[in-house]
Amino acid sequence: MVEWILGRFLVRLSVISGAVVALILFMPVMYSSYWVPFTTDDLEVSLVVRDPAGEPDAVMPSLLGASVDWPNNAYGLYNHVTGLFNPTPVGELIGLDPSYLRFPAGRLSQQYNWTLGVGNVDDRGKNPTYGGGSQESLFGTDEFYKLVDYADASAVMVTNINTGTGEMARDWVSYCNDPSDRRLGRERTANGYPVPYGIIHWEIGYEPYRPSYWRDAPASEIGYGAEYAKLLKDYSRSMKTVDKSIKVGAWMVLDPDLERSSADVNWNINFLDEIAGLPLVIPGVSDDLYFYDYVVVKVNLPAIESLMNFEDLYTYSYADVYASLSEDLRDLRRLIDKIEDPRQGGIPLAIAFYEPFYGEEGWNIPIPANAGSALMTADMAMQFLDIALRDGVRSVEYACFGQLNTPTYSALMINPDFDQVHVDTWHRSPSYFAFQMCTELQGGKPLGISDLHPITFDASAEKELPGHRGVPVVSAIGTLDVESETIRILLVNRDLDSEVICKINLEIEGISGPMLVTTRTILFDSILSNNLAGSAVTSPLPTTTGVKTFTPPDLKITLPIAGVVLITIEPEGVT
């Protein structure tokens, strides 16, 4: 018996060993055809940082924020028993310095009844949550606004147009903004909050272009974009009757694949045709209002249904995605600007949700598919800040990241335990790192940084890969805090194969002498290795912090493969 077991073990061992040997032998064959070397071994990219651009009082607008979900006490942010916030995660959230917080975030907002989440916690009702169940609404409107107040941020509310009504949205505005002795302001006061919240931004729906929202609706001859416009008119009229000072956000689509993501491939045009140029007249209230005050878009990456080799990763690189989305954003702006509308300064945009994904369900496993989201999210947010600077502050309302407090694939990559992930790892997700880096840039004078040239790849003719062509491999944006003489520069290396050496030449008048340089880097061994790592990826994304002294003007920074680096430069001795 023992000999039989031993024999079976040796047979299995030989089969496994043979498979390992075969894998080792064939690995170079499988991957070598996709190897794309640089034309130079030691690539250097030069940046020249010039004096701050714009007017003397012009500063980088504070645009960036995050979304907050309500289930499970906002996933560990709140304790309904004590009525207190968890100091560790809330302290970390406050440290991110968000300019805006959105509530209730995500698709649950379109099933959320706000009336069930106010008042005595023992008397509250249940709202639907993920997975088809329901849960007591212990983190509601009042708790959310406490968080907004703690973070010194502004609130953005997302109304329910799926299972809600215009009257329900009107009452929510009244509860939040009416004085203590008027309408639902009396209910808010009875709940212990006499001071009106004065919430300005109200989004009408959440991604209302989704096919799922119109699945049971009758066929439309005018298109669902126009149907949404009619719905928005009803909501806006009801809400602005209560408070004419609020700003209403209308959803338009920014997605490379409208056939897949939208119930109406002509959503934007149909919406604008139905609502363009129409003023909102409310007798006895105002005759100079508009049905919507800004346009809300979500930054969607193209779907990657099947992505199993290096060639596809290059062809479908996030550099290409950035170029595509930038053009889509410009097209959307041109489309909005063409409509007949007398508003001075045009109609602002808002980015509602920065959470790019590098894969979808069905591709490998989704957990490591988001390993690169910090890089892509930082890249998109950085470019959007640049657009805000070039187009002027009036052109942008806010730009929010995803739910940093909700267990996502990025967080589960770090800790597969869903029940605990919101407690001990939500603040270590890639999106959190990206948000942290981008918010550092706000509030300073914008620096003029020279354009960087794209990199040419040396690929064989039959495997020619267009991944990065026409898109700079490195991009940068920076600000200067004049009072502290502190310079912050965010650098993004989009290359998947090589590190890049950046020479930074500082030409800021009045800044000289020894400078202290602190670098904070998100490190990826490579986007590819993380994406293909499988469920074994259970550790947080590695970060490094470096400190050194240099004397202007020349500074060298090495950007790691597919890496993000935040550089802080300040006079030596300043902490």
- Using CB atoms within 10 A of its CB, is residue 344 exposed (0-12), middle (13-18) or buried (19+)? exposed
Where residue 380 falls (left for φ over 0; alpha for ψ -120 to 50; beta otherwise) is: alpha
Q: Which pLDDT belongs to residue 61? A: 82
Select the highest-mean-pLDDT range: 110-124, 255-269, 417-431, 471-485.
110-124
* Average pLDDT over all residues of the chain: 76
Q: For residue 405, is it within any domain?
A: no
Provide the residue type at 111 as one letter. Q
Alpha helices in 153-223 (DSSP H): 166-177, 185-190
As a whole number of angstroms, the distance between CA 13 and CA 421 comes to 38
> Would you say residue 100 lies in a domain?
no
Q: Assign residue 433 a region (left: φ > 0; alpha: ψ between -120 and 50; beta: otherwise).
A: alpha
Segment 16-37 shows an average pLDDT of: 32
Last residue of a domain, one of 234, 266, 292: 292
H helical segments located in 243-317: 258-261, 267-275, 310-315
pTM above 0.85, yes or no: no
- Which has the minimum average pLDDT: 75-79, 134-138, 337-341, 438-442? 337-341
CATH code of 543's domain: 2.60.40.1180
Residue 36, pLDDT above cutoff 70? no
Q: Residue 314: its pLDDT value, please?
A: 43
Model pLDDT, residue 340 = 66
Same domain, 43 and 165: no
pLDDT mean over 257-276: 88
Q: What is the pLDDT of residues 367-406, one digit of tens each?
A: 333 445 566 667 767 776 776 666 655 578 898 887 777 6
Domain count, the chain: 2
pLDDT above 50: residue 537: no
Query: Which residue in the block uniquely carries the two structure tokens 């430069």?
Result: 569
What's the one-letter identity of residue 244? K
Q: Which two tokens stand for residue 218?
A: 């009758």
Residues 467 and 455: beta-carbon distance below 8 Å: no
- 433 or 248, which is more confident: 248
What pLDDT is recorded for position 203? 98
Structural domain of 484: 35-54+447-571
Please state, in angstroms and rounded to a whole number, the distance separating the CA atoms of residues 530 and 257: 26
Percent of the chain with pLDDT over 70: 67
Do 285 and 167 share a structural domain?
Answer: yes
Instruction: List CB contacts of 420: < 8 A, sequence separation 6 or more.
Output: none
Q: Looking at the domain assignment, is residue 84 inside a domain?
A: no
pLDDT above 90 coverage of the chain, percent: 33
Q: Last residue of a domain, which of 276, 292, 308?
A: 292
State the pLDDT confidence band at 322, using cuts at 50, 70 and 90.
low
Tokens of 225: 């974009």
Report the SS3 class of residue 394: helix
Distance, CA of 508 to chain centre:
32
pLDDT at position 27: 31
Instruction: Among 245, 272, 292, identify where a domain stops.
Output: 292
474 within a domain of the structure (yes/no) = yes
C-alpha span between 187 and 445 (Å, rounded): 44
Q: Is residue 146 part of a domain?
A: no
- Residue 565: inside a domain, yes or no? yes
pLDDT of residue 338: 79
pLDDT over 80 at 127, yes or no? yes
Domain assignment of residue 172, yes or no? yes
Asked if 165 and 49 sit in the same domain, the reply is no
pLDDT in tens, 166-189: 999 999 999 999 999 999 999 999
